[in-house]
Amino acid sequence: MKVIISGGGTGGHIYPAIAIANKIKEKHPKCQILFIGTSAGLESDIVPKAGYEIKTITVSYLRRKISLHNLKSAGMLLKGLWQARKIIKDFHPDVVIGTGGFVCGPVVYMASKLGIKTLIHEQNVFPGITNKILGNYVDKIAISFEEAQKYFKQKNKLVVTGNPIREEFFKVTSQEAKSRYKSERPLVLIVGGSGGSVSINKTVIDMLVKHPKNSFEILLVTGKKHYKELMEKLSQHEEVLKYNRIIEYMEDMPYALKACDLIICSAGAITITEINAVGKPSILIPKAYTAENHQEYNARALEARGAAFVIKEEELESSRLLNKIKEVLHDSKKLQSMEKASLDASKKLATEDIYEEIRKLLGIK
């Protein structure tokens, strides 16, 4: 069996792709899996670390207005289509899977034109533009939220599976996690999605400069592109790093998430799914500029279940954040009920269900 998986740009598209790949490998150990991404996206770093081969193509996005950029983009898109066609023809996959991001556009489209079975997975309530277009060409559309159904015209292709996440989130025990992330005080993990968040970083640094030592420890993940600048700013504030930890990227999120007492993060669909898998309470700060404001919808869904508090980016301010952290951590009853609500929201079988759809598409018994 041969499978091509394409999805990229951000971790929110790449980690589901890896979860699907791992599930296929578990079921078919001899299966050959090839990823297609771009050299600029996070996938060219993350995918090889997960043990898979990746080939890259050129892609770009089109803007609404006619411009020089658009002419260049159209040229790049044609080039990407041609590159995708060559990779697909050389590899001869039985199925091609897309998990979102611009890169999967030319790959999945070309696969469908070549008569290969295709499936796409959408992580959010509001589908991304690439998946919306690809919906016209693919055999199956796996979605994560019931609410996403209304955005796809092709009702007969839809199946609600939930978001696939790495198995470790279900396997790591608290003991294993806490021995890796030791802390004498309650641990508060703060992450602004796979690329980091300028507003979360700014607010947390402001909070820590004013209050370096708290009754809890902060583990801030800044995102790779923001780390150096923030550390330069902190060079005058040694106390901040004496009592807290700041890193650029979290390589072992299943352990860090399981070890923490509270997570503060933006409201990407995959992070939310992972939080639920480990049953943690959260303070969610949806990124305001995302397409159709989809992160706020993700966040509000968790808030409605009693698993999270939501602070909008425009309301974010360091003293408010500090008070909210204290309020949550100091109320053990609230903490417990949030943990339970978070765990109750978890859909454990998403990856298995997506595999089932692939199996049915290929007619495997």
* Known binding-site positions for UDP-N-acetyl-alpha-D-glucosamine: 10-12, 124, 166, 194, 295
Pick from 22, 123, 131, 351: which binds ligand UD1 (CB under 6 A)? 123
Residue selected from 270, 299, 302, 321 as contacting ligand UD1 according to rule CB under 6 A: 270
285 binds ligand UD1 (CB under 6 A): no
> Of the two residues 68 and 289, which places its CB atom closer to ligand UD1 in the complex?
289
Question: Which long-range CB contacts under 8 A does 108-117 form with residues at least 24 apart?
Answer: 108/6, 108/134, 108/137, 108/138, 109/81, 109/134, 109/137, 110/81, 110/84, 110/85, 111/4, 111/84, 112/137, 112/138, 112/139, 113/137, 114/85, 114/88, 114/89, 116/88, 117/361, 117/362
- Which residue, 88 or 221, is less far from ligand UD1 as judged by CB? 221
Quick one: which segment of 56-64, 112-120, 225-233, 288-296 binds ligand UD1 (CB under 6 A)?
A: 288-296
Q: Determine, following the binding rule CB under 6 A, whether residue 13 of this chain makes contact with ligand UD1.
A: yes
State the DSSP H helix or E strand holding residue 304, giving kind and residue range, or none if neither: helix 294-304
CB of 253 to ligand UD1, least distance (A): 4
- C-alpha distances in Å from residue 35, one per residue of 57, 96, 98, 198, 337: 11, 10, 10, 30, 40
Q: Which of 38, 118, 214, 295 binds ligand UD1 (CB under 6 A)?
A: 295
CB 189 within 8 A of CB 221: yes
- Give DSSP secondary structure letters for 7-29: --SSHHHHHHHHHHHHHHHHH-T
Contact between 10 and ligand UD1 by CB under 6 A: the answer reads: yes
Q: Which of residues 79-118 bind ligand UD1 (CB under 6 A)?
A: 100
- The piece of 12-20, 62-70, 229-237, 311-319 that touches ligand UD1 (CB under 6 A) is 12-20
- Binding to ligand UD1 (CB under 6 A) within 188-207 occurs at 191, 193-195
Which residues within the stretch 210-239 sit at the binding site for ligand UD1 (CB under 6 A)? Answer: 221
Asked if residues 10 and 195 have their Cβ atoms less than 8 Å apart, the reply is yes
Site membership for ligand UD1, residue 11 (CB under 6 A): yes
State in angstroms the smallest separation of the CB of 129 from ligand UD1.
12
Region of residue 306 (phi > 0: left; psi between -120 and 50: alpha; otherwise: beta)? left
Contact status, residue 247 vs residue 222, Cβ threshold 8 Å:
yes
Binder to ligand UD1 among 271, 276, 282, 351 (CB under 6 A)?
271
Cα–Cα distance measured from residue 124 to residue 327, given in angstroms and rounded to the nearest whole number: 30
Residue numbers of the site for ligand UD1 (CB under 6 A)? Answer: 10-13, 15, 100, 123-124, 191, 193-195, 221, 249-250, 253, 268-271, 274, 287, 290, 294-295
